[in-house]
Amino acid sequence: MASLGYIGLGVMGGRMADRLLTKGHAVTGYNRTREKAQWLVNRGLTLADSPRAVSAAADVTFVMVANSAALESVANGPDGFIAGLAPGKIVVDMSTVSPALSRAVAAKVREQGARMVDAPVSGSVATLEQGKLAIMVGGDRVTFDKVKPILDDIGPKVTYVGGNGLAVSMKIATNISVAVQILAFAEGVLLAEKSGIARDVAVDVLTHSVVGSPLLQYRGPFVLQMPDEAWFNVNMMQKDVQLALEMGRQLGVPLPTTAATNEWLTAARAMGLAEKDFAAVFQALARVSGVQP
């Protein structure tokens, strides 16, 4: 069994590392805030002092960080994971970043004789904990075949989509629907509520109606009770939406509902909701509608 590394032990990354530990893998990890990884150390993870130390110790290094700047930070420099690579090693980047950056990092990894695939996920904390996470993978097919058995230990649906950067492109295309659905759901709840229907009744009807996608079934109730810890906050969602808008400009694809949703994410940030789960667009819309969030 290959020795594994995991860089970025946040809300999702930490839970994925935990699944790998549960499956019997030896995992060396790194997190910028060491204290947040202590629960994984208690579960058997070995905590390293740098991304380089992780990739030096591991045959396969997973990375899941917040954005493009964070990926560049953990990848480059004397303490970055690229510096710890050697021929034959593999990097699995699960971050959602710009496709161009993903390809650039993959090229630097190849210069070390190693290989990288981008492998972002579709799902949330609930999906992951229920064993229903979907993973899309971009890179060369041989490397995909090598890492797929490990990815199967994280989620049951692992799909090869093509070369480096294409999985990130697919993830961005997926996440615009996530953002737009939540905004449309918020509109529906508020329309029902202002017409005289209790909010909890509206949420129940909508989440069990024809529009009740898996996303709305697990995240729709957040308009009634927000989680103490954001599963995916407003800043993170707006980052993905803006990546989509940039792709749309580059590829000549109009994204009108995505653009409108981006403005409501901006409104949520302006109202001090940036660190809340992105379902907080409901709170922003409620305030404008004269409804107590």
Catalytic site positions: 171
Separation CA 285–CA 293 (nearest Å): 9
Tally the residues of the chain.
293
Query: Residue 157: which residues within 8 A CB-CB, separation 6 or more?
Result: 132, 133, 134, 135
Rounded CA-CA distance 121/240 in Å is: 13
Residue of 198, 10, 217 lying closest to 190 (CA atoms):
198
Q: CB burial class (10 A; 0-12, 13-18, 19+) of residue 131?
A: exposed
Determine the Cα–Cα distance for residues 210 and 16; give it in Å rounded to an integer: 31
Residue with tokens 């032990």: 9
